[in-house]
Amino acid sequence: MRVRLSWVLLMACAFVDAAPSVRSVHKVKETISPPSKWTRGDRAPSNAIIELRIALPQSNFAELERHLNEVSDPFHERYGQHLSKEEVDALITPHPDSVSLVDEWLALYGLRESNLARTASGDWIKVKIPISLAEEMLDTTYHVYTHSSGTTALRTTSYSLPEHLHDHIELVQPTTLFSTFKRQATTFHFDKEEKFTQAVNAPPINVPTASGGKVDASCNTTITISCLKQLYNAVGYVPSAKNGNKVAVTGYLEQFANLQDLQLFYADQRPDALNSSFTFVSVNGGLNNQTVADAGAEADLDTQFAFGLTHPIPATFFSTAGRPPFIPDIGETQNTNEPYLDWLDFILNERNPPQTISTSYADDEQTVPKSFAQRACNGFATLGARGVSLTFSSGDGGVGDGDPDPATQQCFTNDGTNRTEFIPGFPPSCPFVTAVGGTIHIPETAVFFSGGGFSNVFPRPEFQNPAVPNFLKKLPKGTFAGLFNPNGRAFPDVSAQADNFKIFFQGTPGLIGGTSASAPTFAGFVALLNDARIKAGLPTLGFLNPLIYAIGATHPTAFNDITTGNNPGCGTEGFNATVGWDAVTGWGTPNFGRLKDLVTGKFR
């Protein structure tokens, strides 16, 4: 929405007049090194409008995490006893002292309750103000930064807060956040129709763990809903449309899910689903335009396969508006925050969110300030405590998911030292989401682009012991020394097929690949498992990772272990898939039949 320049100037003057005459003593809150691939330009226009997000400390997140661990541990007596929205909100509501002190500080600059927007629990405050006022409040200077891709953002590399507020404000953004939030690098290509059917008359492939022990030969070149159900032992399972189970995918960056494409897909692969659809939910003004040209390959892939696998489970497509880059037009108000924080605000305020949600968008972890990553990750934990399973694609750059140098294919750190290092992605590196890697072909092998590695922000969670140390012991001594953090949260957790998916895009069939395919695929099977649990009178699965690692350790045949392939990147061959958990395919791909028996019985 365009704002009249005269109004902006008047508002800026009003804010300046209301500012305190004596500056409070400020102390630096956060400083980062100038990020690579971003070039600093002119000072930001002083009367451009920016929306600041102010994070207040969540009063008892440690207690929430304790609850999350207990209700997610299949060996704990509280397993499955998810918290209510009210119980979660009570644990993350800021302490009254923090609220009071921050409100007093904002009031010094003329910012009253009518100027503010708060999340349901009050742990985030949002306010739209001129850049000049943001600079005064944060004792900083904003500049126009331009990324090598051509996108721009209004950012700073350091900001300060009054010293007495440091314990009452965790972070303020957008300030030091230089992320390039993007959908995973799906590849889409058209093939002659005969490629889709060239193997139809070939004998089936013997796969002992598949439904009936065989998979159609055509699945080796073209993945369909039928292929996935055969391969992952789910043929014949019929979910309910009316037991309260729901599944969803998220859409960002103007990726729209086309309804005509969905019907073409259903006619081709799920004729029983014809004339059914999903519920569209707009977040922060998100759209779902339906012209042919507006169809998004990512959105089409996510909705067609997640919802094709789970029909007739009620399905939702969330479209969230906003992009991190800010085009510095003085008269334009834009959302400059990470869109998935807007989505988190929305979904955490929902009383009955879908129990399974898949996302195929991410940042490079090193472009996300640690404070921001931790706070966003806490939001994912909050959803898990309420019984929501979150899957994220693990990335499409192998161990070098951070946009390697095109000439050398080397990956460099973003901290000013320019060290060579593997680049993990975020949110896949958050321990409270399930990261899904990729496989290809039948028998399955790791697909070369499967993102995997180790976080530089989040330590290894307890549920990853001893699986991850066992993997590290298998690495030849000195392998990749200094290139990754062996004590970090390791990912992916699991995997699924990730290439040659047949979708319909802008009215035409084609093949698409990426872990953008594996994440909604795995989510689809999670939704089916939730259906089976509800039918058995049990709660939904919620936060998956403790269960996944417990199953991997005690019932490994519930996953199809992938032991071949690797994920090259950063000028290296990357990690190798191996027996048990590995940093290419996690525990492997799902065996739905065996998982269903485990999660509907007494897990021991």
**Over the range 395-421, which residues count as b (16 or more CB within 10 Å of their CB) and which as e?**
bbbbbbbbbbeeeeeebbbbeeeeebb
| pLDDT tens-place string over residues 52-85 | 999 999 999 999 999 999 999 999 999 999 999 9
Question: Which pLDDT band, with edges at 50, 70 and 90, does 1 fall under?
Answer: very low
One-letter amino acid for residue 259 of the chain: L
* One domain, residues 378 and 259: yes
Quick check: is 149 in a domain?
A: yes
**Residues 323 and 399 grouped into a single domain:** yes
Q: Which of 282, 214, 228 is nearest to 252 (CA)?
A: 282
Residue 603's pLDDT band (cuts 50, 70, 90): low
In a domain, 68, yes or no: no
Residue 558, classified by CB atoms within 10 Å of its CB into exposed (0-12), middle (13-18) or buried (19+), is: buried
**DSSP per-residue codes, 542-555:** -S-HHHHHHHHHH-
For the domain that residue 544 is a member of, what is the CATH number?
3.40.50.200
Question: 99 with 200, same domain?
Answer: no
Asked if the structure places residue 39 within a domain, the reply is yes
Q: Which region among 17-26, 258-267, 305-314, 503-512 has the lowest average model confidence (pLDDT)? A: 17-26
CA angle at residue 103 from 100 to 107, to 5 degrees? Answer: 135
> How far is CA 244 from each of CA 241, 352, 394, 534, 539, rounded to the nearest angstrom?
8, 9, 29, 8, 11
Closest to 259 measured CA to CA, from 304, 313, 318, 311: 304
* Residue that terminates a domain, selected from 113, 146, 177: 177
Alpha carbon distances (Å) from 32 to 181, 421, 454:
18, 18, 21
Q: Which two tokens stand for residue 23?
A: 């500056």
Tell how far CA 93 is from the center of its chain.
24
161 and 208: one domain?
no
- What total of structural domains would you count in the chain? 2
Does residue 332 carry a catalytic annotation?
Answer: no
Q: Which domain holds residue 135?
A: 5-58+95-177
Contact 162, 137 (CB under 8 A): no
104 flagged as catalytic: no
Length of the chain: 604
477-524: pLDDT as tens digits: 888 999 999 999 999 999 999 999 999 999 999 999 999 999 999 999
| Single-letter amino acid code for the residue at 588 | G
What is the model's pLDDT at position 528?
Answer: 98
In angstroms, rounded to a whole number, what is the distance separating the alpha carbons of residues 320 and 332?
A: 19
Q: Is the dihedral of CA 401, 182, 259, 236 positive or negative?
A: positive
Question: Are 473 and 449 within one domain?
Answer: yes
pLDDT > 70? residue 364: yes
In a domain, 80, yes or no: no
Nearest to 391 by CA among 522, 228, 200, 535: 522
Q: Which residues, in sequence order, are CB contacts of 89 under 8 Å at separation 6+?
A: 120, 121
pLDDT of residue 412: 84
pLDDT at 161: 98
Cα–Cα distances (Å) from 490 to 61, 185, 587, in that order, read 23, 21, 12
**411 and 433 housed in the same domain:** yes
pLDDT in the model for residue 9: 38
pLDDT (tens digit per residue) in 398-451 = 998 655 555 556 788 877 788 889 999 999 999 999 999 999 999 999 999 999
pLDDT band at 206 (very low <50, low <70, confident <90, very high): very high
Question: Is pLDDT of 323 > 70?
Answer: no
Residue 205: its pLDDT value, please?
97
Same domain for 383 and 339:
yes
Is there a single domain that holds both residue 377 and residue 230?
A: yes
- Amino acid at the residue 239: P
Q: Could you please report the per-residue DSSP string of 481-510?
A: TTTS-TTEEEE-SEEEE-S-EEEEETTEEE
Q: What is the mean pLDDT of residues 199-207?
A: 85
pLDDT value for 147: 83
d(CA 356, CA 530): 8
Whether 146 is in a domain gets the answer yes
Note if 421 is an active site residue: no
- 581 in Cβ contact with 471 (< 8 Å): yes
Average confidence score pLDDT of the chain: 89
Query: Hey, what amino acid is at 136?
Result: E
pLDDT, tens only, 217-275: 999 999 999 999 999 999 999 999 999 999 999 999 889 999 999 999 999 999 999 99
Average pLDDT over residues 272-299: 95
Question: What residue type is assigned to position 472 of the chain?
Answer: L
CA 499 from centre of chain: 20
Higher pLDDT, 4 or 300: 300
Q: Which of 444, 516, 561, 582 is catalytic?
A: 516
Is 319 or 342 the better-scoring residue by pLDDT? 319
Among the listed residues 89, 170, 216, 298, the single catalytic one is 298
Would 89 be classed as within a structural domain?
A: no
Residues 255, 381 within the same domain: yes
Predicted local distance difference test score (pLDDT) of residue 505? 95
Pairing of strands 124-130, 49-55: antiparallel
Q: Are 144 and 292 within one domain?
A: no
Q: How many CA atoms lie within 13 A of 62 on its CB side?
A: 0
Give the lowest-confidence range in 16-20, 143-147, 452-456.
16-20
Ramachandran quadrant class, 201 (left: phi over 0; alpha: psi -120 to 50; beta: rest): alpha
Mean pLDDT of all residues in 110-136: 96
Q: Which of 89, 123, 300, 302 is catalytic?
A: 302
Here the tokens at position 586 are 């996690």
Among 146, 177, 208, give the residue marking a domain's end.
177
Decide which of 135, 159, 177 is a domain's last residue. 177
Structure confidence at residue 402 (pLDDT): 53
CA 315, distance to chain mean position in Å, is: 18
212 and 162 together in one domain: no
459-475: average pLDDT: 97
159 and 295 together in one domain: no
What percent of the chain is predicted at pLDDT more than 90? 77
The reply to whether 86 falls in a domain is: no
Which of 349, 354, 274 is CA-nearest to residue 313?
354
Whether the predicted pLDDT of 578 surpasses 70 = yes
Instruction: For residue 566, name the pLDDT band (cuts at 50, 70, 90).
Output: very high
Q: Quick one: average pLDDT of 518-547? A: 98
Locus of tokens 């292929």: 227
**258 in a domain, yes or no?**
yes
pLDDT higher at 221 or 334: 221
Q: H or E stretch including 306?
A: helix 297-310
Other C-beta atoms closer than 10 Å to the C-beta of 178 total 25
Per-residue tokens: 265: 């897909």
